[in-house]
Amino acid sequence: MNILILGGGGREHSLAWAVLQNPKCDRLIVAPGNAGIAAIAECAALDILDGDAVAVFAEENAVDLVIVGPEAPLAVGVADRLREAGFVVFGPSAAAARLEASKAFTKAICDAVSAPTARYARFTDAAAARAYIEAEGAPIVIKADGLAAGKGVVVADDEATALAAVGKMFAGQFGAAGAEVVIEEFMTGEEASLFCLVDGETILPVGTAQDHKRAFDGDAGPNTGGMGAYSPAPVLTEAVLTRALDEIVRPTMAEMALRGMPYRGVLYAGLMIEDGAPRLVEYNVRFGDPEAQVLMMRLGGQALDLIQACAEGRLAEKRVNWAEDHAMTVVMAAAGYPGPYEKGSEIKGLESLPEDSTAMVFHAGTAEEDGRICAAGGRVLNVTARGTSLREARDRAYALVDRIDWPDGFYRRDIGWRAL
Ligand code: AMP
Ligand code: GLY
């Protein structure tokens, strides 16, 4: 079959890598892709936010399955447009993607089904939001309602920070995404993510992961898109997983179907676990990045069968073949990230690395210039390995990191510390 993946980060490199392990894949195109993806698949320059353009491209290339990587195309209805045109698509409708694209929408769904989550209030008016913060006190969490490229959440340790965040959001820091603000109770506990494929009816858990959001060792420094991840997440024990599915995921999916917007795609539930009880932090309507990298490394070629069954509404007949293994990914980022950083520095040593089903360097922000691999983004490489224990996966991943020669990059040395 001919497969089109939309996106061009480490997540999409790992999806492409897994899809290619499956002999069913005859031709793989990734749009726009990156330098690492270009080494294993065809890359196409395509505006992935333009549903019409994607549909025309899919038609011209006889694409049998479209896998949408990031949330932005989903939120603007690219999956709807493709389904209307008759394509098989992995990814939810724009209506269902509101589970990520509107925090107020998700909160309302949680209310409707009594799913455990942080207490909250929503505001379209700065004065009322300020009064609420003053009444509640800190710590408190301020969230722009809409998509803000991962920057729309402020965990405020004191009232002044919370008030400043509200001021900036209502002043237009995130444009329309900040016209409504959700203010939440600060939840304590340990965070982990649960990934489920959903085909409108059947819910199939396909893995758990934990990531490290802070830039530096010891979980210090600013928040990032994620500096590393590992799977499985030990905190998501069988008992916690059952509760998360029964109390949060299943009721949400049932409510979405009831409201006429059945969910189809991967549902990423960000959970806070305390005393064995999970609460919802947020939903995302796509695989995590870098969580996908560890999930794909563990699932391998079966990922394509599962994704295809999900897109075709046949999940009920599928099981995941679990190996008793662990995977870890270490993100190498450009110095300065998540603040301003330089582009264009050369990365050496990649050609000589052994890459197989137990170790892979997935590319995120890279570009090829005259045969050299150069940094072209904030998060640049995802060095990923699998092992029979998390320790083994970690040792393998860091052994590869140590062979990469990139003086302008940095990474954390302690990914997985909590689990190890
Ligand atoms: P998000 O952008 O929604 O992923 O939120 C970013 C991060 O903020 C989450 O991964 C949590 O670490 C943190 N966070 C969000 N909401 C809360 C909350 N209510 N209590 C504590 N931490 C939170
Ligand atoms: N790594 C967090 C995310 O993909 O949202």
- Is residue 64 within 8 Å of 1, Cβ to Cβ? yes
Residue 412 pLDDT > 90: yes
pLDDT (tens digit per residue) in 201-237? 999 999 999 999 999 999 999 889 999 999 999 999 9
Residue with CA closest to ligand 2 atom 4? 288
DSSP category for residue 281:
E
Residue 31 has pLDDT above 80, yes or no: yes
| CB distance 212 to 412 below 8 Å | yes
DSSP 45: -
Flag whether pLDDT at 150 surpasses 80: no
Share of the chain above pLDDT 90, in %: 94
Q: Is 289 in the pocket of ligand 2 (CB under 6 A)?
A: yes
Name the closest ligand to CA 99.
Answer: 1
- Where helices occur in 250-401 by DSSP H, the ranges are 250-258, 291-299, 302-311, 390-401
Q: Which two tokens stand for residue 186?
A: 């600060």
Rounded to whole angstroms, the Cα distance separating 99 from 132 reads: 25
Protein residue closest via CA to atom 5 of ligand 1: 153
How does strand 359-363 pair with strand 379-387? Answer: antiparallel
What is the chain's mean pLDDT, rounded?
Answer: 96
| Residue 148 Cβ < 6 Å to ligand 1 | no
Asked whether 282 lines ligand 2 (CB < 6 A), one says no
Distance, CA 56 to ligand 2 centroid (Å)? 30
Centre of ligand 2 from the C-alpha of residue 309, in Å? 24
Bridging pattern class, strands 153-156 and 140-144: antiparallel
Please choose, from the candidates 55, 52, 49, 56, the residue with its C-alpha nearest in 3D space to the C-alpha of residue 75.
Answer: 49
- Ligand 1 contact via 248 beta carbon (within 6 Å): no
Distance (angstroms) between ligand 2 centre and the Cα of 135 equals: 32
Q: Which two tokens stand for residue 119?
A: 């207490």
Distance from the alpha carbon of residue 243 to the mean position of ligand 1, in angstroms = 20
Structural domains in the chain, CATH included, are 2-93 (3.40.50.20), 125-179 (3.30.1490.20), 190-317 (3.30.470.20), 326-410 (3.90.600.10)
Confidence of residue 175 (pLDDT cuts 50, 70, 90): confident
Which helix or strand (DSSP H or E) is residue 110 part of? helix 103-113
Whether the CB-CB separation of 366 and 376 falls below 8 Å is answered with yes
Per mean pLDDT, which range of 38-47, 273-282, 294-303, 349-358 is the poorest? 349-358
CB of 155 closer than 6 angstroms to any ligand 1 atom: yes
What pTM does this model have? 0.96
Is the distance from the beta carbon of residue 193 to the nearest atom of ligand 2 less than 6 Å?
Answer: no
Q: Which atom of ligand 1 is nearest to the CA of 191?
A: 12
pLDDT at 354: 87
Q: Nearest residue CA, atom 1 of ligand 1?
A: 153
181: tokens are 């603000």
What's the CA-to-centroid distance between 35 and ligand 1, angstroms? 32
**What is the Cα–Cα distance from 391 to 304, expressed in whole angstroms?**
28
